[in-house]
Protein backbone atom coordinates (compact mmCIF):
# COMPACT_ATOMS: atom_id res chain seq x y z
CA UNK A 1 0.00 0.00 0.00
CA UNK A 2 2.81 2.36 0.97
CA UNK A 3 4.52 1.87 -2.39
CA UNK A 4 1.39 2.98 -4.26
CA UNK A 5 1.69 6.37 -2.62
CA UNK A 6 5.39 6.92 -3.13
CA UNK A 7 5.13 9.01 -6.28
CA UNK A 8 2.46 11.27 -4.80
CA UNK A 9 4.49 11.76 -1.65
CA UNK A 10 7.67 12.36 -3.68
CA UNK A 11 5.90 14.96 -5.75
CA UNK A 12 4.53 16.75 -2.69
CA UNK A 13 7.98 16.66 -1.07
CA UNK A 14 9.98 17.74 -4.12
CA UNK A 15 7.70 20.67 -4.89
CA UNK A 16 7.76 22.20 -1.41
CA UNK A 17 8.87 25.82 -1.03
CA UNK A 18 11.51 25.88 1.70
CA UNK A 19 12.65 29.02 3.47
CA UNK A 20 16.22 29.86 2.44
CA UNK A 21 16.00 28.14 -0.95
CA UNK A 22 15.21 30.23 -4.04
CA UNK A 23 11.60 29.97 -5.16
CA UNK A 24 11.30 28.84 -8.81
CA UNK A 25 8.58 31.38 -9.49
CA UNK A 26 10.94 34.19 -8.60
CA UNK A 27 13.91 32.82 -10.56
CA UNK A 28 12.33 32.42 -13.96
CA UNK A 29 10.47 35.14 -15.79
CA UNK A 30 7.16 34.16 -17.26
CA UNK A 31 7.85 35.87 -20.59
CA UNK A 32 5.09 37.02 -22.87
CA UNK A 33 1.68 36.10 -21.60
CA UNK A 34 0.07 33.64 -23.96
CA UNK A 35 -3.14 32.88 -22.16
CA UNK A 36 -5.54 32.80 -25.09
CA UNK A 37 -5.73 29.80 -27.38
CA UNK A 38 -7.26 30.46 -30.78
CA UNK A 39 -7.87 27.79 -33.41
CA UNK A 40 -6.47 28.48 -36.88
CA UNK A 41 -9.61 27.08 -38.43
CA UNK A 42 -13.02 26.07 -37.15
CA UNK A 43 -16.55 25.64 -38.47
CA UNK A 44 -17.47 29.12 -37.26
CA UNK A 45 -17.26 31.62 -34.40
CA UNK A 46 -20.42 32.35 -32.41
CA UNK A 47 -20.58 35.66 -30.58
CA UNK A 48 -22.35 35.08 -27.27
CA UNK A 49 -24.99 37.48 -25.93
CA UNK A 50 -23.70 39.97 -23.37
CA UNK A 51 -23.59 38.30 -19.94
CA UNK A 52 -25.47 39.74 -16.99
CA UNK A 53 -22.57 40.93 -14.85
CA UNK A 54 -24.55 42.46 -11.99
CA UNK A 55 -27.70 40.40 -11.46
CA UNK A 56 -28.37 37.25 -9.53
CA UNK A 57 -29.08 36.22 -5.96
CA UNK A 58 -26.93 37.06 -2.98
CA UNK A 59 -23.72 35.06 -2.73
CA UNK A 60 -24.75 33.72 0.66
CA UNK A 61 -28.10 32.43 -0.52
CA UNK A 62 -26.36 30.73 -3.45
CA UNK A 63 -23.79 29.13 -1.12
CA UNK A 64 -26.62 27.99 1.08
CA UNK A 65 -28.23 26.22 -1.89
CA UNK A 66 -25.16 24.82 -3.68
CA UNK A 67 -25.33 21.08 -4.13
CA UNK A 68 -24.02 18.55 -6.63
CA UNK A 69 -26.96 17.64 -8.87
CA UNK A 70 -26.98 14.74 -11.33
CA UNK A 71 -30.59 14.53 -12.51
CA UNK A 72 -31.09 16.73 -15.55
CA UNK A 73 -34.37 17.40 -17.34
CA UNK A 74 -34.77 17.54 -21.12
CA UNK A 75 -35.39 21.31 -21.00
CA UNK A 76 -32.71 23.06 -23.03
CA UNK A 77 -30.40 25.74 -21.70
CA UNK A 78 -30.90 29.15 -23.31
CA UNK A 79 -28.04 30.99 -24.98
CA UNK A 80 -28.15 33.83 -22.40
CA UNK A 81 -27.86 31.19 -19.64
CA UNK A 82 -24.85 29.62 -21.35
CA UNK A 83 -23.35 33.05 -21.86
CA UNK A 84 -23.72 33.81 -18.14
CA UNK A 85 -22.17 30.47 -17.15
CA UNK A 86 -19.20 31.05 -19.43
CA UNK A 87 -18.59 34.58 -18.25
CA UNK A 88 -19.05 33.71 -14.58
CA UNK A 89 -16.67 30.73 -14.68
CA UNK A 90 -13.60 32.47 -16.12
CA UNK A 91 -14.69 35.49 -18.16
CA UNK A 92 -12.78 38.76 -18.25
CA UNK A 93 -13.72 41.24 -15.54
CA UNK A 94 -10.85 43.72 -15.80
CA UNK A 95 -9.53 44.42 -19.24
CA UNK A 96 -6.23 45.82 -18.07
CA UNK A 97 -3.78 46.42 -20.91
CA UNK A 98 -1.14 43.69 -20.80
CA UNK A 99 -2.79 41.18 -18.51
CA UNK A 100 -6.57 40.99 -18.75
CA UNK A 101 -7.89 39.53 -15.50
CA UNK A 102 -10.78 37.17 -14.94
CA UNK A 103 -13.56 36.16 -12.54
CA UNK A 104 -11.30 33.33 -11.32
CA UNK A 105 -7.81 33.86 -9.89
CA UNK A 106 -4.78 32.19 -11.46
CA UNK A 107 -1.29 31.57 -10.06
CA UNK A 108 1.01 34.25 -11.48
CA UNK A 109 -1.85 35.43 -13.75
CA UNK A 110 -0.75 32.80 -16.27
CA UNK A 111 -4.22 31.34 -16.93
CA UNK A 112 -3.35 27.81 -18.09
CA UNK A 113 -6.98 26.61 -18.16
CA UNK A 114 -8.87 26.35 -21.45
CA UNK A 115 -12.60 25.64 -21.58
CA UNK A 116 -14.28 23.35 -24.10
CA UNK A 117 -17.99 22.62 -24.07
CA UNK A 118 -19.80 19.62 -25.43
CA UNK A 119 -23.23 20.98 -26.31
CA UNK A 120 -26.08 18.53 -26.11
CA UNK A 121 -29.15 20.67 -25.48
CA UNK A 122 -28.83 24.44 -25.88
CA UNK A 123 -31.41 26.56 -27.72
CA UNK A 124 -29.91 28.04 -30.87
CA UNK A 125 -26.69 25.99 -30.81
CA UNK A 126 -25.96 22.91 -32.85
CA UNK A 127 -24.85 19.85 -30.92
CA UNK A 128 -21.13 19.33 -30.87
CA UNK A 129 -17.80 20.53 -29.52
CA UNK A 130 -16.96 24.18 -28.93
CA UNK A 131 -13.99 26.09 -27.50
CA UNK A 132 -14.54 29.22 -25.39
CA UNK A 133 -12.71 32.36 -26.51
CA UNK A 134 -12.32 34.19 -23.20
CA UNK A 135 -11.24 37.54 -24.68
CA UNK A 136 -13.98 37.69 -27.29
CA UNK A 137 -16.65 36.01 -25.13
CA UNK A 138 -17.37 33.81 -28.13
CA UNK A 139 -17.41 30.15 -29.03
CA UNK A 140 -15.35 28.46 -31.70
CA UNK A 141 -17.41 25.64 -33.21
CA UNK A 142 -14.99 22.75 -33.63
CA UNK A 143 -17.04 19.63 -34.33
CA UNK A 144 -20.68 19.11 -35.28
CA UNK A 145 -21.81 15.82 -33.77
CA UNK A 146 -24.04 14.38 -31.07
CA UNK A 147 -21.36 13.55 -28.51
CA UNK A 148 -23.61 12.96 -25.47
CA UNK A 149 -23.25 9.19 -25.36
CA UNK A 150 -19.50 9.25 -26.01
CA UNK A 151 -19.07 11.94 -23.33
CA UNK A 152 -20.79 9.74 -20.75
CA UNK A 153 -18.48 6.92 -21.78
CA UNK A 154 -15.29 8.91 -21.32
CA UNK A 155 -16.63 10.18 -17.98
CA UNK A 156 -15.92 6.70 -16.61
CA UNK A 157 -19.32 5.52 -17.88
CA UNK A 158 -21.28 7.80 -15.55
CA UNK A 159 -24.64 7.50 -17.29
CA UNK A 160 -26.20 10.73 -15.99
CA UNK A 161 -23.63 12.71 -18.02
CA UNK A 162 -25.46 11.91 -21.25
CA UNK A 163 -28.45 13.98 -20.05
CA UNK A 164 -26.43 17.11 -19.29
CA UNK A 165 -27.34 20.05 -21.53
CA UNK A 166 -23.68 21.03 -21.59
CA UNK A 167 -20.54 19.24 -20.49
CA UNK A 168 -17.70 21.59 -19.63
CA UNK A 169 -14.19 20.21 -20.10
CA UNK A 170 -11.31 22.12 -18.56
CA UNK A 171 -7.86 21.49 -19.96
CA UNK A 172 -4.54 22.85 -18.82
CA UNK A 173 -1.86 24.15 -21.16
CA UNK A 174 0.79 23.08 -18.73
CA UNK A 175 3.79 25.00 -20.09
CA UNK A 176 1.96 28.30 -19.57
CA UNK A 177 2.40 27.67 -15.86
CA UNK A 178 5.43 25.35 -15.70
CA UNK A 179 7.77 27.69 -17.58
CA UNK A 180 7.59 29.89 -14.51
CA UNK A 181 6.84 27.54 -11.63
CA UNK A 182 8.52 24.34 -12.88
CA UNK A 183 7.08 21.25 -11.18
CA UNK A 184 5.16 23.31 -8.64
CA UNK A 185 2.96 24.25 -11.60
CA UNK A 186 1.30 20.84 -11.22
CA UNK A 187 -0.11 22.03 -7.91
CA UNK A 188 -1.26 25.33 -9.38
CA UNK A 189 -3.05 24.05 -12.49
CA UNK A 190 -5.43 22.04 -10.33
CA UNK A 191 -5.97 24.89 -7.90
CA UNK A 192 -6.76 27.19 -10.84
CA UNK A 193 -9.25 24.70 -12.29
CA UNK A 194 -10.86 24.27 -8.86
CA UNK A 195 -11.56 28.00 -8.66
CA UNK A 196 -13.06 27.97 -12.15
CA UNK A 197 -15.19 24.95 -11.35
CA UNK A 198 -16.59 26.50 -8.19
CA UNK A 199 -17.40 29.72 -10.07
CA UNK A 200 -19.31 27.62 -12.57
CA UNK A 201 -21.06 25.64 -9.85
CA UNK A 202 -22.19 28.79 -8.02
CA UNK A 203 -23.31 30.47 -11.24
CA UNK A 204 -25.37 27.40 -12.15
CA UNK A 205 -26.90 27.30 -8.66
CA UNK A 206 -27.71 30.99 -8.88
CA UNK A 207 -29.64 30.33 -12.11
CA UNK A 208 -31.46 27.27 -10.66
CA UNK A 209 -29.48 24.96 -12.90
CA UNK A 210 -27.93 21.70 -11.77
CA UNK A 211 -24.17 21.12 -11.85
CA UNK A 212 -21.94 18.15 -11.15
CA UNK A 213 -18.14 18.27 -10.94
CA UNK A 214 -16.48 15.31 -12.63
CA UNK A 215 -12.94 14.14 -12.07
CA UNK A 216 -13.61 10.48 -12.83
CA UNK A 217 -12.84 10.21 -16.54
CA UNK A 218 -10.59 8.25 -18.86
CA UNK A 219 -7.83 10.73 -19.58
CA UNK A 220 -6.72 9.54 -22.98
CA UNK A 221 -10.31 9.21 -24.18
CA UNK A 222 -11.38 12.70 -23.17
CA UNK A 223 -8.20 14.23 -24.64
CA UNK A 224 -8.91 12.45 -27.91
CA UNK A 225 -12.56 13.48 -27.90
CA UNK A 226 -11.76 17.17 -27.62
CA UNK A 227 -8.64 16.93 -29.81
CA UNK A 228 -5.77 17.80 -27.46
CA UNK A 229 -2.49 15.90 -27.25
CA UNK A 230 -2.60 14.98 -23.55
CA UNK A 231 0.92 16.30 -22.97
CA UNK A 232 1.20 19.98 -23.89
CA UNK A 233 -2.52 20.34 -23.16
CA UNK A 234 -4.56 17.84 -21.19
CA UNK A 235 -8.05 17.59 -19.69
CA UNK A 236 -8.02 17.94 -15.91
CA UNK A 237 -11.62 18.52 -14.81
CA UNK A 238 -15.15 18.41 -16.16
CA UNK A 239 -18.57 19.74 -15.19
CA UNK A 240 -22.00 18.53 -16.27
CA UNK A 241 -24.66 21.26 -16.27
CA UNK A 242 -28.35 21.24 -17.13
CA UNK A 243 -31.85 22.12 -16.06
CA UNK A 244 -32.93 20.25 -12.96
CA UNK A 245 -35.28 17.35 -12.86
CA UNK A 246 -37.15 17.81 -9.60
CA UNK A 247 -37.00 20.52 -6.99
CA UNK A 248 -34.43 23.31 -7.47
CA UNK A 249 -33.79 23.55 -3.71
CA UNK A 250 -32.66 20.77 -1.46
CA UNK A 251 -33.14 21.70 2.19
CA UNK A 252 -31.25 20.39 5.17
C1 LIG B 1 -12.72 17.11 -7.49
C2 LIG B 1 -14.11 16.53 -7.50
C3 LIG B 1 -14.39 15.47 -8.33
C4 LIG B 1 -15.68 14.94 -8.38
N5 LIG B 1 -15.95 13.96 -9.29
C6 LIG B 1 -17.20 13.49 -9.38
C7 LIG B 1 -17.52 12.53 -10.37
O8 LIG B 1 -16.70 12.11 -11.18
N9 LIG B 1 -18.81 12.08 -10.41
C10 LIG B 1 -19.78 12.52 -9.57
O11 LIG B 1 -20.93 12.07 -9.70
N12 LIG B 1 -19.50 13.45 -8.61
C13 LIG B 1 -18.25 13.94 -8.50
N14 LIG B 1 -17.96 14.91 -7.57
C15 LIG B 1 -19.04 15.44 -6.71
C16 LIG B 1 -18.92 14.94 -5.26
O17 LIG B 1 -19.36 13.61 -5.18
C18 LIG B 1 -19.77 15.87 -4.37
O19 LIG B 1 -19.22 17.17 -4.41
C20 LIG B 1 -19.80 15.38 -2.94
O21 LIG B 1 -20.56 14.18 -2.84
C22 LIG B 1 -20.39 16.41 -1.97
O23 LIG B 1 -21.69 16.76 -2.39
P24 LIG B 1 -22.10 18.29 -2.62
O25 LIG B 1 -21.26 18.83 -3.75
O26 LIG B 1 -23.57 18.27 -2.96
O27 LIG B 1 -21.83 19.04 -1.36
C28 LIG B 1 -16.70 15.46 -7.53
C29 LIG B 1 -16.38 16.53 -6.68
C30 LIG B 1 -15.13 17.08 -6.69
C31 LIG B 1 -14.85 18.28 -5.82
DSSP 13: H
Query: Please, what CATH class does the domain formed by 43-243 belong to?
Result: alpha beta
What does DSSP say about strands 128-133 and 233-243: parallel, antiparallel, or unpaired? unpaired
Q: Which of 86, 77, 103, 95 is nearest to 47 (CA)?
A: 86
Three-state DSSP at 62 gives helix
Q: Best mutation site among 70, 71, 214 for ligand 1, i.e. most ligand atoms within 8 A of its Cβ?
A: 214
Beta bridge partners of 237: 170
Ligand 1 centre and the CA of 70: distance in Å?
Answer: 10
Helix (H) or strand (E) holding 176: helix 174-181
Instruction: Quote the crossing angle between the two packed helices 79-90 and 185-206, to the nearest 10°.
Output: 140
Nearest atom within ligand 1 for CA of residue 201: 25
Mean pLDDT by 10 residues, the chain (252 residues): 76 94 69 79 98 97 97 98 98 85 95 98 98 97 98 98 98 95 96 98 98 98 98 98 88 70
Q: Best mutation site among 67, 68, 167 for ligand 1, i.e. most ligand atoms within 8 A of its Cβ?
A: 68
Q: How far is CA 225 from the centre of its chain?
A: 16
Res 250: pLDDT: 75
Q: Does the Cβ of 194 fall within 6 Å of ligand 1?
A: no
Q: What are phi and psi of 108, to 5 degrees?
A: 65, 15
Q: What is the spatial distance between Cα 36 and Cα 38, in angstroms, rounded to a whole number? A: 6
Res 175: pLDDT: 94
Res 24: pLDDT: 75
Ligand 1 centre and the CA of 197: distance in Å?
Answer: 11
DSSP 4: H
Nearest residue (by CA) to ligand 1, atom 14, is: 213
Ligand 1 centre and the CA of 210: distance in Å?
Answer: 13
Beta carbons of 103 and 90 less than 8 angstroms apart:
yes
Nearest residue (by CA) to ligand 1, atom 5, is: 214
What does DSSP say about strands 113-119 and 166-173: parallel, antiparallel, or unpaired? antiparallel
What is the pTM for the complete model shown? 0.95
Q: Does the Cβ of 212 fall within 6 Å of ligand 1?
A: yes
Beta carbons of 240 and 212 less than 8 angstroms apart:
yes
Domain boundaries in the chain?
Answer: 43-243
Q: What are phi and psi of 154, to 5 degrees?
A: -70, -25
Cα Rg for the chain, rounded, in angstroms?
19
Q: How far is CA 127 from the centre of its chain?
A: 19
Amino acid sequence: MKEDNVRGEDFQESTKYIRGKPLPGRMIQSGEPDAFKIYKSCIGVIKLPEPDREGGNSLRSVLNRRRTRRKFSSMPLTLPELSNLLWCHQGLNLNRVGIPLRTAPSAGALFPTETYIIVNNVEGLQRGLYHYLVREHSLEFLKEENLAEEAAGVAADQKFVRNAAVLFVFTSVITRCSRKYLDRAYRFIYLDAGHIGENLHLAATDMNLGACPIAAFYDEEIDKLIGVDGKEETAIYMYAVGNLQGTPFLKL
